[in-house]
Structure 1
């Protein structure tokens, strides 16, 4: 957890950092009365996304309705999850905010 909290973009390996800026959306998320959150469960069959820079698979990140999604939650069954750069880049291209997940300690 200390490593996560001390993360600094300027010192990060650029291989692991998303590069696509968050595209503007209309209407802006803060102005939306209703929001749609999609939660992706890595263990639900999307195992190709375990490769940080993607895969040669034809459509491992096939998600066809980004325009209807406001927030994308990348979920795994680990204590702390940082969404892979490929998912963050895809979401940002469509103006979608990406969240990672922190599992509560038992």
Structure 2
């Protein structure tokens, strides 16, 4: 008993199967293109978002060096090498808060 559909030779391929596979491959390609365009659009939108301007100059306390920096809408935070977080106002000079980092050692 043969495993091939009736009326087909051993090396022939069912044309309906070929059409089905072509449809699947075309659909997958379309979905991938739409997904890629969506990712690129989201990146462009995110990177063009309004970011609050940085002050021209920030004044750190004497003897401190900046290690990391982040900002919020109305403040800047600087992590210093002596394990402190200094939170500045938007003017870049007024220290609003100072937090000592506890490493638990």
**Which band: TM-score by shorter chain?**
under 0.3
TM-score normalised by length of structure 2: 0.20
Q: Which has the larger radius of gyration?
A: 2
Larger proportion of strand? 2
